[in-house]
Structure 1
C-alpha cells in the first residue's frame, strides 16, 4: 500500500531539452521568392524585348516618340501592369527599340502596332521584327524610357552583313546593345532626360550601323508581331506516346 501511495504523490517529470532548444523560423522557396519580389517592388514578372523596324524617310523623331508615349499611357490607364522602361534609338529610316515591362504590357504594345498596320495603308512604322525576348529578368537596365535620335552617319569600313553569317551578325548585335545598355545604366542618373541626341559624340563605338538594323528587318528568320501573337494565342497540341496506336485502326 505504501508503494502505491508513493506513486500517487510523485509528480510526472517532462523533458526540458525540447523547450530549451532555440526555435529557428523555417521558410520555403515560395516565401523566398515573394520576399524578393517585395523588396524589388515588383508586382509582375519583368521581360525585356528587342524590336527593330523601318520608318518612312520623312518621319520625325517627335512623331515616333509621341506615338509610343500615348500607347504607354493608354495601356497603364486601362490595364494594370508594370511601367515601361527602355531605349528607343531612331535612325534616319529605321529604329531599334528596347522595352522592359510586364508580359501583358509588351503584348498590348505589339497589338497596337498591328492595329495601325491593318487600318492604315502607310503607317510610318513598317517591317517590324522581334529579335529576342528575355523572360523574367532579375532587374531593369533602364530606370526610365529614353529616346535618342542618331542623325550623324557613322562611317564603317565595310558592310558586315555581306561578309558575316546571320548568326555572327546577331551575336554582334546583342553584344553591342548589351554594352551600350550597361554604359547608359552607369552614366544616366534617375530623373534626368537621358542621353539625348549626342550618343554619336559620347559613345560612337557603341552605336550599331543602320545597315544592321535594316538587315534584321528584312531577315525572314525573325518573327514579325503578327506571327508572334498568333503563336502566343494558339493552343499547344501535344501528342503523347499512349495516343499513338499501331497499326492505325481501320473500318471494316
Structure 2
C-alpha cells in the first residue's frame, strides 16, 4: 500500500512539473513581443494572387483602401489569426501576398470574385516564418521597377519560371526588409526599385492558362479525400497548386 502511494505521489509531482513546463513554454513575454520572438498560434500559410485592373482605375489608392478595410474586417472576425502581407498596385494589374491561417486565406480567395479574371500564383502551406511582419499596400507607377523588364519578359516564357521570378523577388524584398530594419516595404522599394516584380512578368503570368482561378482553386482545396485501402494511401482528388 505504501509503495502504491509513493508511486502515485511521484506521478502527481511529474504531472505538476510537466504542466508547469508547458505553461512556461506557452507564455509570451514582453521581450518576445518587442524582439519578434512570438510563436505562431496558427498553421501559417501564404497565398499569392494576381489580377488585371481596369484602365480607368485612377491612381490605385481606392483599391488599396478597400483592401485595408477588408483586412480590418478579417482581423475582427479572426482575432488571433494575424494577417500580414503586401499588396502591390500597378497601373494595369495587382499582386497580393497574404500570410495567415487557412480560414483567412479562404476568405481572401472568396473575396477575389470582386476582381476581374484573378489568378492564383502560389499557395504554400505550413510555413516556418513570414516574409512580412505587417500588411501594407503600395501604389506603383509605370516608372517603378527594374530597367531590364523587357529582357525578363523575353527570357521567361514558362509559368514555372515566371512564378519563380515572383517568389524570388519577394524573398529578396523580405531579406532587404530584415537588413534595413524597416517595418514596411514601401520605402525599401523606393530605394531599391530592382526588387519590384516587373509589371510585364505579371502580365505574362495572367495570360497563362495553367494558372487556376480562385474559384477553381477553392473547388480543389475543398475537394474530398480518396482513401486507397489497397495501398494505404490518402490521395486528394485533385492536385493542389503549391509552389
Aligned-pair Cα RMSD in Å:
3.2
Deviations for 1:27-56, whole angstroms, at most 9, x for unmatched residues? Answer: 7xxx88x94796634221211222111111
| Equivalent position SS for 1:222 | coil
Q: How does 1:178-197 map to 2 (within 5 A)?
A: 178-190=171-183, 194-196=184-186
Q: Deviations over 1:52-84 (max 9, x none)?
A: 111112223221112212222222323444121
Of the candidates 187, 201, 208, which is equivalent to residue 219 of structure 1? Answer: 208
CA apart distance, 1:212: 0.5
Cα 1:93/1:36, change in 2 over 3 Å: farther
1:49 pairs, out of 35, 47, 50, with 47
Which among 118, 123, 127 is matched to residue 128 of structure 1? 118
Q: Does 1:174 align with 2:143?
A: no
Measure how far apart 1:228 and its partner are: 0.8
Give the conservation status (yes or no) of the 8 Å contact 2:53–2:116.
Answer: yes
Q: How does 1:51-70 map to 2 (within 5 A)?
A: 51-59=49-57, 60-70=59-69
Gaps of 5+ in 1: 1-22, 117-124, 243-252
Are positions 1:156 and 2:148 aligned together? Answer: yes
Alpha-carbon offset, residue 179 of structure 1:
0.6
SS at match of 1:238: strand
Cα distance in 2 for partners of 1:225, 1:81 equals 25
When Rg is computed on C-alpha atoms for both structures, the one with the higher figure is 1
Is the Cα contact below 8 Å between 2:173 and 2:185 reproduced in 1? no
Native 8 Å contact 1:50 1:96 kept in 2: yes
**More deviation, 137-146/160-169:** 160-169
TM-score by length of 1: 0.69
**Corresponding residue of 1:228:** 217
Where structure 2 has 5 or more consecutive residues not aligned to the other structure, the ranges are 1-13, 29-36, 232-243
TM-score (norm 2): 0.71
1:249 alignment partner in structure 2: none
* Structure 1 residues 78 and 205, CA gap change in structure 2 (3 angstroms): closer
Instruction: Work out the CA distance in 1 between the residues paired with 2:109 and 2:165.
Output: 25
Question: Which consecutive segments of 4 or more residues in structure 1 shift more than 4 A?
Answer: 36-39
Q: What residue in structure 2 maps to residue 207 of structure 1?
A: 196
Deviation at 1:181, TM superposition (A): 2.1
Aligned to 2:32: none
